[in-house]
């Protein structure tokens, strides 16, 4: 097996990798795609959630159709439908557009729109679940101490809803960053597409795509860290405190041997903070 380390390192190390303009652009585009699409998704998700919770049947029906279609069909099909379809019926030809210093190809635009609409469908469900998860009694109690509807929403209901919404939202954005790669199916050139182009010349797929995946890893790990901070700031809904192992940190007896008695290891590999409380 001869792994071309030189190629791998060249296309992994940012200074050398970004010398390739496609890769540099691709990296920026990937982030742009993810953030823009997610923003569209959040807006649509909010509208959709409120529509699903609305008293008007027409709104509920519309939202249901929207959610059912976009969560029940593949993103790639949606991409093709919107990109080729909009041009075919003469709605929008998806020409290249230049905004400031960025040139967005038609495919990228279609990608942003499709991913945004798709995300909106998933966020509709997530936000709706978050809102209805807040106990009705919370609103009652808030009113009982004299808050208006809006104040109750702002200070009591939504903060609690956000706690429930945050983890799935975070996971979704994580997924979004990875889904941006799907736009290559309509010919858009973001990060993955850039590496594909390079591979078309060099024919070292494993080395190149391994390097490519490291960039995505960096993005997702960075986001996970942010997500973790956000969740801690807002408090995740079930903070199950996993009790520490009984043998804590104290002086251990001299024993040889293997796995023995006691209970489950805490899920994270590290030993959790001790509680030091004996019954």
Q: Within 70-129, which residues bind other proteins (CB under 8 A)?
A: 71-78, 80-81, 84-85, 88-91
Q: Does 133 bind other proteins (CB under 8 A)?
A: no
Q: Does 69 bind other proteins (CB under 8 A)?
A: yes
- CA 139/CA 149 separation, integer angstroms: 8
Instruction: Report 196-215 residues binding other proteins (CB under 8 A).
Output: 204-206, 209-210, 212-213
Nearer to other proteins, 144 or 217 (CB): 217
Mapping DSSP to helix (H, G, I), strand (E, B) and coil, where does residue 191 land? helix
Q: Nearest distance from residue 176's CB to other proteins, in Å?
A: 11
Q: Nearest distance from residue 232's CB to other proteins, in Å?
A: 18
Instruction: Report 226-245 residues binding other proteins (CB under 8 A).
Output: 238, 240, 242-244
- CA 248/CA 211 separation, integer angstroms: 41
Q: Does 35 bind other proteins (CB under 8 A)?
A: no
Q: HSE of 195 in the Cβ direction (CA atoms, 13 Å)?
A: 24
DSSP state of 105: P
Instruction: Report 49-68 residues binding other proteins (CB under 8 A).
Output: 68
Q: Nearest distance from residue 104's CB to other proteins, in Å?
A: 21
Q: Does 17 bind other proteins (CB under 8 A)?
A: no
Query: CA Rg, the chain, in Å?
Result: 24
Assign residue 203 a region: left if phi > 0, alpha if psi is -120 to 50, beta otherwise? left
Q: Does 267 bind other proteins (CB under 8 A)?
A: yes
- CA 221/CA 216 separation, integer angstroms: 8
């Amino acid at each position: 097996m001869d792994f071309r380390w030189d190629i791998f390192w060249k296309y992994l190390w940012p200074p050398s990798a970004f010398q390739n303009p496609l890769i540099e652009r691709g990296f920026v585009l990937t982030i742009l795609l993810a953030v823009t699409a997610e923003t569209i998704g959040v807006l649509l998700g909010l509208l959709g959630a409120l529509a699903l919770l609305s008293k008007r049947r027409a709104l509920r029906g519309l939202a249901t159709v929207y959610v059912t279609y976009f969560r029940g069909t593949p993103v790639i099909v949606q991409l093709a439908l919107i990109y080729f379809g909009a041009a075919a019926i003469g709605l929008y030809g998806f020409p290249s557009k230049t905004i400031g210093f960025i040139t967005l190809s038609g495919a990228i635009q279609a990608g942003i729109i499709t991913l945004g609409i798709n995300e909106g469908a998933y966020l509709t469900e997530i936000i709706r679940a978050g809102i209805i998860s807040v106990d009705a009694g919370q609103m009652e109690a808030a009113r009982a101490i004299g808050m208006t509807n809006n104040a109750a929403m702002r200070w009591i209901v939504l903060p609690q809803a956000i706690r429930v919404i945050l983890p799935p939202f975070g996971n979704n954005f994580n997924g979004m960053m990875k889904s941006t790669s799907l736009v290559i199916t309509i010919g858009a050139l973001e990060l993955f597409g850039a590496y594909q182009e390079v591979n078309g010349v060099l024919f070292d797929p494993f080395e190149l795509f391994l390097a490519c995946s490291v960039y995505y890893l960096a993005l997702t790990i960075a986001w996970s860290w942010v997500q973790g901070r956000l969740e801690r700031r807002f408090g995740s809904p079930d903070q199950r405190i996993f009790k520490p192992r009984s043998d804590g940190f104290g002086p251990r007896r001299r024993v040889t041997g293997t796995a023995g008695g006691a209970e489950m290891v805490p899920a994270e590999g590290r030993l959790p903070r001790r509680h030091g409380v004996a019954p």
